[in-house]
Every structure is written in C-alpha cells, then in structure tokens.
C-alpha cells in the first residue's frame, strides 16, 4: 500500500476544546491577531471562548473583522499589515470557509510585507508565515485540515486558490457546538460543500486506500444530513450537527489528499457572476459529474451508492433539490467565462478528464 500524504496540522476536538486548552494558545506567544467576519465568530460563541482563554493566559490581541464572503486578497494584505503593526506572534482565524481561508493568507502576508496581490499568488512556496490557529464554525469547508486558501483576486474579480505547506494551520480546534448558530440556508450550502469535497475526492485518481477511508467516514453522515434537510426543511439537532461537523473534517482530509474535480473550478463562475453560494455552486454540476463517473468509473459509482445506502434517483433528487440552481446566460457569455482556463488540474482530476467545451455545456444546462 503506497502513501504520500502531508497533513501537519494538530487537531484538537470535542466540547469546550478551546476553553480546556488555553496553554496551546499561549505556547505560540503573547500577542495575537484574530481574523474573522463581522458576526459569525460572535454568534457561534467561539470568539467569547477565545477571549476568555486570552484573558486567562495573558495574551494581548487585536481583532480584524473585515473578512467577507469570498474574501478579497487585498483584505488579507491589510490584515497582514495590522498583524505587523501590533507585532503579533500568531494568528487565530475564526469562522466558516471565508475567514479560515483568509487567515491562511494573513499569516503569510504578516511575515512577507513585500507581497502585493500578484505576489501572494506567485510567492515562493513555502513562504515564511506566522503560526496559525483555526476554529471552525460551519460544517462544510474542511479548511481546518487543508493547505488550500481560496481568495478573490481584486484585480480580476475571479476566485483563485493559493496552496502549499505555508497554508496549513499549526492547530485546529473542532467544537461542533460552534456550528449550532447556523441558519437553515447556511447549513444547507455548507453541507453541500462538504459533500462535494468527499464525492469529488471519491472519484479522483489520487483516491487510494487512506483518503477513500476518510470519504467512507464522511459520506454516510453527510448524505443523512442532506436527506434530513431536504425532506424536513428544518434545522438539525445538536447530535446531527456534531456528526455533520466531523464529517466535514473527514471530507476535508479527503480533499487534502485527492483535491477536487471540475465542479469546484466551474462553480467559481456561478459565484462570481450570479452570487451563488460556494456549496451550491459546486453541487449544481453534480449531475454532470455523476454522468462522467458512470461512464469512466462505473464500479466506483456502484460502491458510492452502497456506502450511501441509496439509489441514484434518490441521490440526484436530494442533492439537486437542495441545490436548486437556475441561471440566465447567453452562450457567448458562457464561452467568454470559460476561456480563462488552460490546463486545469481539477479538470484532469475528473473521471475521464474535462474540457472547456464541456464546461460551457455544463453551465448552459443550468439555463
């Protein structure tokens, strides 16, 4: 059995894991910049717990709460400047995918004042970075355990990822209780995102025994949650929230090894042009993705349905019903949007491969 896996993040999980492990925070220094959005860290209770730990451990802090959905590279550079101004020893990122991804870039920018937007995307890897601690508040991103950060390039307005050894957190705290403040729509789109991570990894050529095991741990709980959300239109209870959060981490571990496939890349267009949330933007292309898998990896499709304990019709009805994406676009615009890609690793990582022309057709099917 062959492996080539890099996962340097220390993972600390369980109820009150932040409050019970204050010494981990203070081991990284006595000055910290907290990176978050305007409300998520507050509503979840995570910020309150972190500040209680900082008071007990004697850690001085600043708060940068200007991270928005689909975070801007410029905001990360600005936060890096704030970290330098206060001589921060480490960064704490609190929130869903946007604050966590942004925090990775902030940690890099803090140690590399020469970086502008282009430099952030084209830096030497690994660059120097401040130690980073992440605290998740949603059940979708998996950013807690991946070396990837998706940012919006201010110059092009396009979403593009940075990745590498400098994008991993030193420590991630996993407390499912922080996810209980998510409203229904946010819960749906984040669980769809976790589903996309796990299922795209499941069909990757890189999906060897260990990442496949992560996916097998993630997918049944994720699909159980999706069926519940689709059939009841109500919020999960605390027990299901816990299962969904840890499943999103297992899906993130799958992503960390296998990467994603074409739905993630093409989904960026739906977010940029139509404001569709990331999770739904990815699963909008799940029917096309499954069609590709049925042709090129039929045995793996059969195995997926067995793992989910469902049939293809129920799977598609559930995922498509929750996604519910329809757009209005002209073929000429779609062609222009898709012209941005050359050789894309996520296209190569799709069963049977994927082309720009197929991307155009997949988007047009949503019209």
Mean pLDDT rounded to a whole number for the chain: 96
Q: What is the pLDDT of residues 62-111, one digit of tens each?
A: 999 999 999 999 999 999 999 999 999 999 999 999 999 999 999 999 99
Q: What is the CA radius of gyration of the chain?
A: 20
pLDDT at 245 over 90: yes
- When pLDDT is averaged across residues 167-189 and rounded to a whole number, the result is 97
- When pLDDT is averaged across residues 38-46 and rounded to a whole number, the result is 94
User: Does domain 194-364 bear CATH number 1.20.1090.10?
Assistant: yes
**What local confidence, expressed as pLDDT, does residue 338 receive?**
94
pLDDT at 334 over 70: yes
State how far the alpha carbon of 309 is from the alpha carbons of 102, 227, 293, 306, in Å: 37, 12, 18, 5
Please determine whether the domains at 10-178 and 194-364 fall in the same fold group of CATH: no
Domain positions in the chain? 10-178, 194-364
The position carrying tokens 């960026």 is 268
pLDDT band at 1 (very low <50, low <70, confident <90, very high): low
Q: At the top level of CATH, which class does the domain 10-178 belong to?
A: alpha beta
């Amino acid at each position: 059995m062959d492996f080539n896996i890099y996962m340097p993040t220390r993972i600390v999980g369980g109820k009150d894991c932040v409050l019970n492990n204050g010494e981990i925070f203070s081991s990284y220094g006595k000055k910290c910049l907290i990176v978050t959005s305007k409300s998520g860290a507050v509503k979840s209770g995570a910020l309150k717990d972190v500040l209680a730990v900082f008071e007990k451990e004697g850690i001085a802090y600043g708060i940068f709460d200007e991270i928005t959905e689909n975070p801007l590279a410029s905001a990360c550079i600005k936060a890096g400047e704030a970290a330098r101004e206060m001589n921060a020893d480490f960064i704490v990122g609190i929130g869903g995918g946007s604050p966590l991804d942004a925090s990775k870039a902030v940690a890099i920018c803090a140690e590399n004042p020469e970086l502008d937007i282009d430099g952030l995307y084209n830096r030497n890897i690994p660059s120097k970075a401040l130690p980073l601690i992440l605290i998740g508040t949603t059940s979708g991103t998996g950013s807690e355990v991946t070396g990837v950060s998706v940012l919006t390039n201010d110059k092009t307005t396009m979403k593009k990822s940075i990745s590498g050894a400098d994008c991993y957190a030193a420590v991630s705290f996993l407390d499912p209780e922080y996810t209980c403040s998510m409203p229904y729509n946010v819960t749906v789109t984040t669980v769809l995102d976790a589903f996309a991570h796990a299922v795209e990894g499941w069909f990757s050529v890189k999906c060897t025994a260990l990442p496949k095991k992560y996916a097998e741990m993630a997918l049944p709980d994720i699909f159980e949650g999706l069926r519940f959300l689709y059939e009841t239109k109500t919020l999960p209870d605390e027990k299901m929230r816990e299962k969904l959060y840890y499943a999103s981490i297992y899906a993130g571990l799958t992503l960390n090894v296998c990467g994603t496939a074409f739905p993630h890349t093409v989904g960026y267009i739906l977010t940029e042009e139509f404001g569709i949330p990331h999770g739904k933007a990815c699963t909008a292309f799940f029917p096309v993705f499954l069609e590709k898998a049925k042709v090129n990896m039929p045995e793996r499709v059969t195995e997926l349905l067995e793992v989910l304990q469902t049939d293809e019709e129920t799977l598609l009805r559930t995922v498509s019903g929750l996604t519910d994406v329809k757009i209005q676009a002209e073929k000429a615009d779609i062609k222009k949007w898709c012209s941005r890609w050359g050789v894309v690793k996520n296209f190569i990582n799709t069963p049977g491969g994927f082309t720009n022309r197929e991307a155009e057709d997949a988007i047009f099917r949503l019209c």
